[in-house]
Chains A and B, each alone.
Chain A
Amino acid sequence: MRLSPPAVLFALIGGAGLALPLVQFKANRIVPGEGIGLADLPQGWGTAVLSGAILAAACWARWSAALRMAAAVAGLVAVTLSLGVGASQLTPEGNSLARVSPSSGFWLLLLAFGLMLADAANRLRPSLSLRWLLLAGAMVLAAGMLTSGLLDGVSVMREYASRRDLFLREAQAHLALAFGSLGLALLAGIPAGIAIFQAPRWRGPVLGVLNILQTIPSLALFGIMIPVLGWVAATLPGAAWAGLSGIGTFPALVALFLYSLLPVVSNTLSGLSGVPAAVRDAALGLGMTRMQVLAQVLVPLALPVLLAAVRIVLVQNIGLAVIAGLIGGGGFGTFVFQGLNQTAMDLVLLGALPTIALALVAGIALDLLVQGARKGAA
């Protein structure tokens, strides 16, 4: 019998996960908790046996990629649901202080099945449309589990339940920061990229300045924006009226915008430079004006490289927007830093997990878009 080496690794990780406590039970959210293993949870042994069986059986090299994928999804769902069920059963009725949070065992099992899923997805070599379907399916599944109420007993979800309105507001702020700064960067960066494409002697200075902007640590750039924008709002007539101010979301938006400029400008430039001169000459030979060549030939051909910049910027900004929470700019960072200050890790998770999920989905979706655009351009 031939073994699949990656699957053996997943089994080892998962095995460690089964041996370690799945959840931590705490009488309130501050005190240290006691760990409880999957098999010791009420009705947890079923999941423990299932997970162990999947992890062990998958070591057999003959398993097909599709079967591996289905098994990994089954494992992920089973472990997550066990966490939810265990949490609601461990929490005493009517006790709003007790917290049951996921522990090392849960994260390791999640990692094992997640790796198995990634490995299977690789081996399956899915077509572009199938990958979109898989992404959509994963999102629907995750949303379904979150809204089913089965996970409501888990600490993170209880933190969520007690501040639902705030969470939705911060989620909106986070998205507005990430997408707003991306939009602004595209509006300013694409024309700038086109301009330096047509005026080569400006390339050095413009890219140099943008490069230096990138070296300023994000924390400092966010901080510097507060007084700078406060000063602009106070001195420039009409600035305050236009919503410019040194407090709130605005400084974070400007800081993210500045970080986004380099990828957009440099990718616009390299996308345009990558179009073969023969193509440009042919378009000019057809009697197109320079503007027509730019709009109908160069920009469409440079689209994949531009989309790659959008991916870099969006993933980066979703992550950096967390820092806005430190300067009162809103977003998921509010929970992360509040949680760190109160050493309430459930609150940190409430901020960190949606940020990671958002960055992952944005990264995968834009990768697929880039590949689609490459196919279209080729």
Chain B
Amino acid sequence: MTGRILPVLAGLALLAFLTAPTAFAPLFRPFTRNDAPAIYTQTSLLSLTLSHLAIVALAVAASTLVGVTLAILVTRPAGREFLPLARTVTAVGQTFPPVAVLALAVPVLGFGSGPTLVALFLYGLLPVFENALAGLTCQPPPVAEAARAMGLTPTQRLWQIDLPLALPLLLAGMRLTAVISLGTATIGSTVAARTLGEVIIAGLLSSNTAFVLQGGLVVGILAVLIHHGFQAAERRVRGRMGLA
């Protein structure tokens, strides 16, 4: 039961903090020095949070769309030749440090939210693709046989069997992508993206721990909430399919 109450409480606390941040000033006061402001007010925290979430959501949606499409392509007969290569590229791509990808995207896209979006999209592709691939390829053989016996066309099989069965694993991939992106997006503020990283960086530059803490806390709570949300969705989908 506590597993359900805690996220709800954390979400409510977060909502309260974002709508009236200045009310929480006494909590953060001990972390400031020399009468520095305890709450970041240069930009509204709520709008930064929304913009942060929008960037992450857009990136996750794009990586899911492209990742799943690619996974479908390389598991069809026409794309089989690309399968080993796709696996290698995914494995290698995941070793690329996100900060480096972000920095390298700047000369192409300029400063702002663009490079962050692209870096998050590219980085997020990999877990989604990997999990979608696993979901599409690791079916129990009887399922495939039953589908064939029922006379389903390849397209019907894809939509009615393969994709629904891959859904729990796909959701797990999206969860990974979303949580990683949420943290990585803060680094985007080093290239002037509008994310909660702005608060943390302002704290780093003015040695104001209160800023660093509030930026970090908001992102951390968001990550925990999103993690829980996806896990709940996964459980629900699994339950509906009788996989438990």
Choose among A4, A9, A326 the residue with the greatest number of B CB atoms under 10 Å from its CB. Answer: A326
A323 and B99 contact, CB distance less than 8 A: yes
Residue in A123, A217, A355 whose CB lies within 8 Å of B200? A217
A219 and B95 contact, CB distance less than 8 A: no
Other A-B pairs, 8, CB within 8 Å; known A218-B187, A359-B97: A121-B88, A123-B84, A212-B220, A220-B220, A223-B203, A319-B96, A323-B187, A359-B96
B220 and A215 contact, CB distance less than 8 A: yes
B82 and A348 contact, CB distance less than 8 A: no
B97 and A220 contact, CB distance less than 8 A: no
B103 and A340 contact, CB distance less than 8 A: yes
Asked if B136 CB lies within 8 Å of chain A CBs, one says no
- Which chain B residues border A320 with CB–CB below 8 Å? 97, 99
A223 and B191 contact, CB distance less than 8 A: no
Measured in the bound complex, the distance between the Cα atoms of B165 and A350 in whole Å is 45
User: In the complex, what's the smallest C-beta–C-beta distance from B177 to chain A, in angstroms?
Assistant: 14
Could you jot down 11 A-B contacts, CB within 8 Å? A119-B88, A216-B216, A217-B184, A224-B213, A315-B94, A326-B190, A336-B100, A337-B190, A348-B103, A355-B99, A356-B97
B219 and A220 contact, CB distance less than 8 A: yes
- Which chain B residues border A21 with CB–CB below 8 Å? none
Residue in B79, B183, B203, B215 whose CB lies within 8 Å of A215? B183
User: Which residue of B is nearest A327, CB measured?
Assistant: B204
Contact digits for B210-244, partner A, Cβ 8 Å, 1 yes 0 no: 00110111011001100100000000000000000
Interface of B is mostly: helix
Asked if B113 CB lies within 8 Å of chain A CBs, one says no
Residue in A215, A315, A333 whose CB lies within 8 Å of B223? A215
B96 and A356 contact, CB distance less than 8 A: yes
Measured in the bound complex, the distance between the Cα atoms of B158 and A220 in whole Å is 43
A220 and B103 contact, CB distance less than 8 A: no
- Which chain B residues border A119 with CB–CB below 8 Å? 84-85, 88
Which residues of A186-221 are within 8 A (CB) of B? 212, 215-221
- Which chain B residues border A319 with CB–CB below 8 Å? 96-100
Report how many A-B pairs have Cβ atoms within 8 Å.
144
Which residues of B76-110 are within 8 A (CB) of A? 79, 81-82, 84-85, 88-89, 91-92, 94-100, 103-104, 106-107
Contact digits for A127-151, partner B, Cβ 8 Å, 1 yes 0 no: 0000000000000000000000000
- Which chain A residues border B227 with CB–CB below 8 Å? 215
User: Which residue of A is nearest B223, CB measured?
Assistant: A215
Asked if B24 CB lies within 8 Å of chain A CBs, one says no
Asked if B168 CB lies within 8 Å of chain A CBs, one says no
A118 and B179 contact, CB distance less than 8 A: no
B97 and A218 contact, CB distance less than 8 A: no
A219 and B103 contact, CB distance less than 8 A: no
Q: Which residues of A contact B (CB under 8 A)?
A: 4-6, 9, 115, 118-119, 121-123, 212, 215-221, 223-224, 226-227, 315, 318-320, 322-323, 326-327, 333, 336-337, 339-340, 345, 348-349, 351-352, 355-356, 359-360, 362-363, 367
Interface of A is mostly: helix
User: Which residue of B is nearest A10, CB measured?
Assistant: B85
B100 and A217 contact, CB distance less than 8 A: no
Choose among B95, B213, B223 the residue with the greatest number of A CB atoms under 10 Å from its CB. Answer: B95
Residue in B92, B186, B224 whose CB lies within 8 Å of A219? B186
Given A345-B107, A348-B106, A360-B95, also A223-B85 (CB < 8 A): no
- Which chain B residues border A345 with CB–CB below 8 Å? 106-107
Asked if B209 CB lies within 8 Å of chain A CBs, one says yes
Asked if B161 CB lies within 8 Å of chain A CBs, one says no
Measured in the bound complex, the distance between the Cα atoms of B89 and A115 in whole Å is 8
8 closest A-B pairs by beta carbon, nearest first, are A220-B216, A319-B97, A223-B212, A363-B95, A215-B223, A352-B100, A217-B183, A322-B99
Given A318-B97, A340-B190, also A217-B204 (CB < 8 A): no
